[in-house]
Structure 1
């Protein structure tokens, strides 16, 4: 399902330069192919906003090559932003009001950073609740990532996240499919990897208490994907299948610099199952705190060639299935949630 470059968003040029399939608007208009419109609520902080945007655009765009995909990024005005980021958002992002007016087929919600333990005190809490309530009755399916999953589990099902006993869970972990009959995961490998990076969790028992169907789990990382009792309208992820090969590396480097500057008390552990001996040796030769931006970029390019990406294929499989299922049940009129005859309480008929 190729992405359509319907606006002058820098991400489209970046992905085209990578060799990704990006349709110019004129070519898209000449094709007699159905459009799909997916909202991307990007709540990530300034430093990660554009990178997260590219990750999801890349993952969705590479998942299938049939329908024309229009991804509509938007964010929450309640989140604190720099002047530069506000200018970027004003130029390239849409507003929730515009998307409500035009309608969406599906919605993706990213995670975000939080300042405290209680999500109800965060500035995103009330506007996110409003968006999720609208989506529940207006889009075929909503896909939540990490913190967004924790927020919706608390607001909709009264299941609050809890702190992980060993602190931060981060790294790449083995997962397996628990319910191979569900069409979202039916075509996946029996065992595959997913990156995680979080301090908190929703336990398998909490997903069960909410009446959700757990589809993918890890012995080390817990539940990765669970779906709402209707089977499809809400898809909750605790992992980060959208991550690039270098995402955990950059996160590790940020943690090291925080420790060396005194902003954290202890040196960070390395992400589990991520660095190999070659990359660890390469890191040991450099002091990233005194490197220029260009030097660090060059180092990361070298490290990226050493790191193994063992999760993107399974991530594409999940996204391809999700988009394909949305395609099967959503109405051609994107202001309507489902095509005629679809039961909202069991849209997949399973």
Structure 2
């Protein structure tokens, strides 16, 4: 259960302040508890870099297993960075080469802000596919978020994302279980919320055409959770269960600020079900004031965040914790005690959970 502060990454101290159990490395070495080493490839832009670390490490630390979790954060050198973010990465992040040499029990691939029309045109595509290929041979299980999901299914299965005709899938959507018997979702509520934030999509029909199993769907947002044909080695998320309560509001503030500055052609809509209905008029009024300021070349008005805060609720956090607990729990049961070896003896890599044929 405890996360081990095996580096000076500021996220560890922030999680301590939130009340999470974070062990010093000196204390951890004296505990007779199994270590699990989980990689986090953080591809998010500079402004979201640290928040993404905290979000995923928080979910890992909330797992109910008796184990010490070492989370190894790294990124791709080809992702453009500002001077401050690059200095932060050089100080706190690990290298992919080191992790390849030492091994990982599991891996999380974060989303990223798409810049190109096609994933293969992204500046980080070649480096990302190298990580995917290595993980496919050497890691027990990999959790993919949003753009990472689209990248993996394109690279491994030749399945390309499609641009959403209605624009951005953005907000908090209701979901249901398509296969409640799968161990990843076995103790989840049969109906629950999850945030989404994406311009692109892979449909349920497309996933299933390549033999991938869809576990969670939404009538409005489409597929949220799917798994590879072996049912465990690749976990695909199109939603964002890791999001904080304020994540969508921060995204909205970022996007409407960019629209005011002329970087976006259209004013962003209010994310679906982000707010209580009674507070949506307040945010609509703010959007109108931004539009007036843009038209008159006036400064950007201030977002009334203190007034909005009470109307924002996290309705997905417990489900996210349960999902990650299930994922790590199953990984714990099949991964080798040597982190450089993906499976213990007797485990079939093509059916690691022994579910096929049942």
Separation (CA, whole Å) in 1 of partners of 2:343 and 2:309: 42
Q: 1:262 offset after TM fit, Å? A: 2.3
Separation in 2, partners of 1:330, 1:320: 15
CA contact (8 A) 1:9 1:92 kept: yes
Partner of 2:47: 47
Residue 146 in 1 paired to residue 151 in 2? Answer: no
Partner of 1:186: 186
1:115-152 CA-to-partner distances (Å, cap 9, x unmatched) read: 12111111111111111111111111000000000111
Separation in 1, partners of 2:105, 2:211: 25
d(CA) in 2 for partners of 1:128, 1:57: 21
Within a 5 Å distance, the mapping from 1:175-324 to structure 2 comes to: 175-280=175-280, 282-283=282-283, 300=305, 303-324=308-329
Q: Distance in 2 between matches of 1:306 and 1:161?
A: 34
Inter-partner Cα distance in structure 2 for 1:261 and 1:121: 27
- Structure 1 residues 27, 128: CA separation in 2 closer, same or farther (over 3 Å shift)? same
CA contact (8 A) 2:65 2:329 kept: no
CA shift for structure 1 position 64: 2.2
How far apart in 1 are the matches of 2:264 and 2:300?
Answer: 20
* Inter-partner Cα distance in structure 1 for 2:16 and 2:279: 29
Query: 1:246, 1:300 within 8 Å by CA — same for their partners in 2?
Result: no
CA positional deviation for 1:282 = 5.0
Partners in 1 of 2:33 and 2:307 — Cα distance?
41
The answer to whether the 8 A contact 2:63-2:325 is kept is yes
User: After superposition, what is the alpha-carbon deviation per residue over 1:82-141, rounded to whole angstroms, capped at 9, x for unaligned?
Assistant: 121111111100000000111100000001112121111111111111111111111110
Structure 2 distance, partners of 1:39, 1:230, is: 21
Secondary structure at 1:57 match in 2: helix
Partners of 1:305 and 1:332 in 2: how far apart?
Answer: 46
CA RMSD of aligned residues (A): 1.7
Q: 1:279, CA displacement in angstroms?
A: 3.7
Taking the aligned partners of 1:313 and 1:283, their CA distance within structure 2 comes to 27
Q: Please, what TM-score do these two structures have when normalized by structure 2?
A: 0.92
Partner of 1:344: 349
- Structure 1 gaps of 5+ residues are none
Q: Report deviation, 1:281.
A: 5.1
Q: How many residues align?
A: 346
CA drift of 1:302 comes to 5.3
Contact kept in structure 2, 1:224 and 1:237, CA below 8 Å: yes
Q: Residues 257 and 300 of structure 2 are in contact (CA less than 8 Å); yes or no, is this contact kept in structure 1?
A: no
Between 1:101-110 and 1:81-90, the stretch displaced more is 81-90
1:63 aligns with 2:96: no
Change (3 A) 1:13 1:291: farther
Tell me, in whole angstroms, the C-alpha distance in 2 between the residues paired with 1:59 and 1:301. 26
Tell me, in whole angstroms, the C-alpha distance in 1 between the residues paired with 2:30 and 2:266: 58
Unmatched segments (≥5 aa) in structure 2: 294-298
| Mapped contact 2:197–2:240 kept (Cα < 8 A) | yes
Q: Is the 8 A contact 1:2 1:64 kept in 2?
A: no
